[in-house]
Structure 1
Amino acid sequence: MKKSRLFIWIIVTAIVTAGITYSIVKPKEVSIAGNGDPFQKLRSTYDILQKGYYKDIDTDKLVEGAIKGMVESLEDPYSVYMDVEQAKSFSENISSSFEGIGAEIQESNGTILIVSPIKGSPAEEVGLKPKDVILKVDKESIEGLSVNEAVMKIRGEKGTKVNLVVKREGVGELNFTITRDTIPLETVYSEVIEDNIGKIQITKFSETTGEELAKSLTDLQEKKVEGLIIDLRQNPGGLMDQALAMSELFVAKGENILQVEYNNGSKEVYKSENEAAIDLPITVLIDGGTASAGEIMAAALHQSAGIPLVGEKTFGKGTVQSAESFKDTSSVKYTTAKWLTPDGTWIHEKGIEPQIKAELPAYANLPFINPEIVLKKGDSKTEVNAAQQMLKALGYEEVSVEGYFDDSTEKAVKDFQKQHKLTVDGKITGETTMKIMELIQSKLQENDTQLEKAISVLKEKM
């Protein structure tokens, strides 16, 4: 019978090695018989701590720590143990409104990053972008935290504020102060735009998204639209069954929507059973914030219905998760399979390339400027550079864009303040900051180059 040795170190003396203090003496040997049960070591460790640890032990916390460690050892950012509070938060995110900043996040290579901000959310309004890496929450580093631990720090009651420090590729560190709000359940928004074209934006895939989409399609058909744009930009995904049902509305009967590959190599192929797919010219908008279920739908509509994709490469999340709940409502969310596009491609960490590439104007990627800070002549910082680029985009051509608040910047700010009837002091803060960002957002909505390209492509098919 094999035996494993556990050593109980008895505190007697202290030594210092490489600046670390240890308390050690010759170890006492304790033998634990093994019987082929892989959990014998775990149970024995539990017994040792219960009997010998110098403080009272919270048994529930000990067990939850063991479960959490077990799941984390998978080294899969999409597999996590969620305690009661975290499981409740996860459930709210896919089934009802919740209070927070409104951004999907994930762990990637030991960091927490933004997958996508939700449409109309505080996260979108302040300018958080897909793949922004979150470094700090309220001045505390989140290095080493799980996704759920990070979520619990970021979420909070409506009206309260949270400060995030993020790192953006090509820009550096950015500081965002965000006021939390209620993130609504509604996930589908539709309207009729130019030349009788219908536009449907899908912001995520929750329990009601399929019903919302069907209603929007009925409304647009009653208005006799002649073409359709489906906007999946900034859609972080959600429920796979919703993506399947929604894709089926556009894919002819018998065509592949999705393939799922399990760890034994077997595959399950999902085919459309829809007798009457939507028969309209369609284009689909995608970008770097289109992820998971959003990518499932984009791939299905392109590969199985011949619908062109317009925009930028998607996020690249090609795995399927399931959640199992315990009696106390805590749960384990874990990866069960890969999902493949209709033609069998695995897009994980690669994304989906659009057939027609289109980028937004450069000012769409400028960071949020905190209205509470004061930018003035002589300052040299990231926020100054962002403000200069915004002023330039708004037509103040004389301003320099070098990150230094010089005479030309002060003059441009004063001209801006005069034009918009603000206090003329040449400083960027408060109402001046908010007005600049408001006008940039309006300009972007009026100059959505990706949408314009999608309309152009659609008209060629109409």
Structure 2
Amino acid sequence: MLKRLLVILSFGSLLWTMPAYAQEDEAINSAATLGEVFGYISQFHLAKPDTTELANASIKGMLDQLKDPYTVYFSPGELDHFSDELNGDFEGIGAELEMQGTYPKVVRLLEQSPAQQAGLQTGDIIQQVDGQDIAGQSLSDIVSMLRGTKGTTVTLTVKRAAQEDFQVSITRNTVHMPTVFSELINNKIGYIAIDSFGMDTGMEFGNALIELTEKNAESLIIDLRNNGGGYVDSAAEIAAYLLGKDETIFITEDRNKRKDSYSTEYEGVVRKMPLVVLINGETASASEILAGALQDYGMATLLGTNSYGKGTVQDIIPLGNGGALKMTTAEYLTPKGRRINGTGLRPDRTVVTPALQLHGAIQLLQPEKITLRYGNDRVSINDKPFTIPGPQRINGEYFVPLRPTMEALGYQVHWENNGIVVTGSNLTWQLPTNGGKSMLNGQPKSTQPLFKKDTSTYLSLKDLSLLECQVQVQGDEIVINN
């Protein structure tokens, strides 16, 4: 930082005002004092401290004083690791997993990855890692066990349909996980998930978008859930593909309240089409820049839950020791000037149940009659399985989980001080949590009291008739049609 200040001094001193000069002079004096103290400790202290550890502790102390979690010092080598993570490069086996019950299932294998070459297949269930049963462990912990240094080996115990359990040994290697995944849903809806914004993400997105339009996609879902951000340039490139050239995508405001606008630089690559963007509490930074711009221009419906609210910009400054400083230099605003730092983006349509967010987006773009089935420890919507809580039976009467049921049927659910409000299809249904009558479009209605079990609130199955839902109980199966 001192080198940077000295360069500014040598070329710009005649243009400075006295207060600015005094501030820079104070910074240089403080840096000189820091260097003086460091020199005395490193040369004369009885403990003979390691100078690298001493320097790192000094930097950590300065950064802690900022109380800014996004300003970070990268020691030599850590910057490469940070960049690799954004770009989807890591050392591991190259398999994408999702939890199925208590064990993870392989849902995707990277081409030419160690997992694919060792014979792992999509649909395989991993039960043990190096002889350790992983039942009930979190997905992030299991992924950490599978990752490791290039050249090391991990042994998995695998369950595969119609076979006895078997073991497979996989030698880890450097693999590249594409940051963009795409597919065509229901022959008409293009789906593009962006895991992070790496250097090649814009190109990957553009290719996926063109491929989906060539397959006659009529609408689009962009999935930004759990995307913590990355390079702003990639988000800007994607915004250009959708908005066209010379459109403002975000505004920055520095510590002197000076504002700069940033506009798209490329022409759009496809015609405008109905668009839904999925967001949640882990949608942050560059993801919020893209989602916020699309929302401001009325290009997209945001669906899900409030985004994270990281509305600050960081610059990466290379340091002379081979490390780098990632430093917060500005706050960013949406094209309409909305500040989202600490508050996030509010979705146009709230769907809290994670398993139902993609379902909700599909329903917005391609509405269809919904058949919701509860039964035999499984839940299905239009015969597709979903992982959501099942019903409860009390004194012979069925109660269904309120939020998942309402969201599956296309309604929004909001908790308020005096109860729960269900909205959608030109109705507002107010359900008291402390007993009493509910209010449907301002008219009092008699309903069974809600009850809570664990973290879920349940609604009487019979009360769904107030929404003109058709409800049938067939043995142990409940069928709800809206």
Superposed CA deviations along residues 158-181 of structure 1, whole A, max 9, x for unmatched, are: x7899xxxxxxxxxxx99742423
- Residues 87, 99 of structure 1: CA spacing in aligned structure 2 closer, same or farther, 3 A cutoff? same
- Contact 1:310 1:453 (8 Å CA) reproduced: no
Aligned match of 2:203: 211
Per chain length, whose mean CA-contact separation is higher, i.e. which structure has more relative contact order (CA < 8 Å, sep 6+)?
1
1:243 maps to which of 235, 239, 243: 235
Other-structure match for 1:293:
286
Give CA deviations for 1:116-175 in whole Å, capped at 9, x if unaligned. Answer: xxx9467999899xxxxxxxxxxxxxxxxxxxxxxxxxxxxxx7899xxxxxxxxxxx99
TM-score by length of 2: 0.53
Cα-to-partner distance string for 1:305-355 (whole Å, 9 max, x where unaligned)? 432111111111101111122244211111111111010111011011111
Give the conservation status (yes or no) of the 8 Å contact 1:257–1:341. Answer: yes
Alpha-carbon distance change, 197 to 258 in structure 1, aligned in 2, over 3 angstroms: same
Counterpart position of 2:38: 46
Three-state SS of the structure 1 residue aligned to 2:235 is: helix
- Percent identity, aligned pairs only, is 33
The verdict on how the C-alpha distance between 1:329 and 1:46 changes in structure 2, with shifts beyond 3 A counting, is: closer
- Name the SS for the 1:78 alignment partner: coil
Aligned twin of 2:470: none
Question: Which structure 2 residues correspond to residues 265-284 of structure 1 after superposition, within 5 A?
Answer: 265-276=257-268, 278=270, 279-284=272-277
Q: CA deviation at 1:55?
A: 2.8
Give the match for residue 199 of structure 1: 191
Aligned counterparts of 2:341 and 2:218: Cα–Cα separation in 1: 35
**For 1:443, which of 382, 386, 401 is the aligned residue?**
386
Are 1:395 and 2:376 matched, yes or no? Answer: yes
Query: In 1, are the aligned partners of 2:303 and 2:351 still within 8 Å (CA)?
Result: yes
1:334 alignment partner in structure 2: 327
Aligned equivalents of 2:226 and 2:387: distance in 1?
A: 15
Cα distance in 1 for partners of 2:320, 2:101 equals 39
Q: Is residue 178 from structure 1 mapped to residue 171 from structure 2 by the alignment?
A: no
> How many residues are matched?
296
Is residue 340 of structure 2 the alignment partner of residue 347 of structure 1? yes
Separation in 2, partners of 1:448, 1:211: 39
Does the 8 Å CA contact 2:240/2:268 hold for their aligned counterparts? no
**Secondary structure, aligned partner of 1:66:** helix
Shift of residue 288, structure 1, vs aligned partner: 1.4
Counterpart of 2:349, as a letter, is: I
Provide the residue aligned with 1:323 in structure 2: 316
Give distance in 2, aligned partners of 1:329 and 1:161.
40
1:58-85 alpha-carbon deviations (Å, 9 max, x no partner)? 2232223222322222110000112124
2:250 alignment partner AA: L
Instruction: For 2:298 and 2:35, locate their aligned partners in 1 and report how far apart those are by CA, in whole Å.
Output: 55
In the superposition, the TM-score normalised over structure 1's length comes to 0.55
SS of 1:92's partner is helix
User: Matched residue of 1:178: which SS?
Assistant: helix
Q: Deviations over 1:355-391 (max 9, x none)?
A: 1112226899xxxxxxxxxxxxxxxxxxxxxxxxxxx
CA distance in 2, matches of 1:123, 1:85: 33
Unpaired segments of 5 or more residues in structure 2?
Answer: 1-25, 105-128, 133-137, 148-174, 358-373, 379-383, 389-403, 412-482
CA contact (8 A) 2:241 2:267 kept: no
Instruction: Give the residue type in structure 2 aligned to 1:350.
Output: T
| Paired position in structure 2 for 1:73 | 65
Question: What is the distance in 2 between the residues matched to 1:193 and 1:179?
Answer: 28
Assess, with a 3 A threshold, how the Cα gap between structure 1 residues 235 and 179 changes in structure 2: closer, same or farther.
closer
Alpha-carbon distance in structure 2 between the residues aligned to 1:264 and 1:319: 15
Q: Secondary structure at the match of 2:54?
A: helix
Match of 2:253 among 261, 267, 291: 261
CA–CA separation in structure 2 for the residues paired with 1:346 and 1:127? 41
Contact 1:258 1:341 in 2 (8 A): yes
Paired AA for residue 178 in structure 1: I
For residue 47 of structure 1, report the CA deviation from its aligned partner: 3.4
Residue type of the partner of 1:319? T
> Alpha carbon RMSD of aligned pairs, Å?
4.2
Partner of 2:299: 306
Aligned with 2:30: secondary structure?
Answer: coil
Q: Is the 8 A contact 1:358 1:449 kept in 2?
A: no
What do residues 404-436 of structure 1 show as CA deviations (whole Å, max 9, x unaligned)?
xxxxxxxxxxxxxxxxxxxxxxxxxxxxxxxxx
In the other structure, the counterpart of 1:407 is none
Partners of 1:120 and 1:96 lie apart in 2 by: 12
Shift of 1:444: 3.7
Q: 1:221/1:54 Cα in 2 relative to 1: closer, same or farther (>3 Å)?
A: same
User: 1:143 aligns to what?
Assistant: none
Give yes or no for contact 1:161–1:177 (8 Å, CA) kept in 2.
no
Q: Assess, with a 3 A threshold, how the Cα gap between structure 1 residues 95 and 349 changes in structure 2: closer, same or farther.
A: same
Q: 1:247: Cα distance to partner?
A: 0.7
Distance 2:102 2:195 in 1: 17
CA contact (8 A) 1:101 1:122 kept: no
SS in structure 2 at match of 1:220: helix
For residues 36 and 124 of structure 1, the distance between their equivalents in structure 2, rounded to whole angstroms, comes to 58
Counterparts of 2:131 and 2:258, CA distance in 1: 48
| Cα offset, 1:295, TM superposition | 0.7
8 Å contact 1:251–1:274 — kept in the other structure?
no
Which structure 1 residue ranges, 4+ long, deviate > 6 Å from structure 2?
Answer: 122-128, 159-162, 361-364, 447-454
User: 1:21 — aligned with what?
Assistant: none
d(CA) in 1 for partners of 2:233, 2:333:
15
Distance 1:175 1:281 in 2: 34
Structure 1 match to 2:112: none
Provide the secondary structure at the position in 2 that maps to 1:290: coil
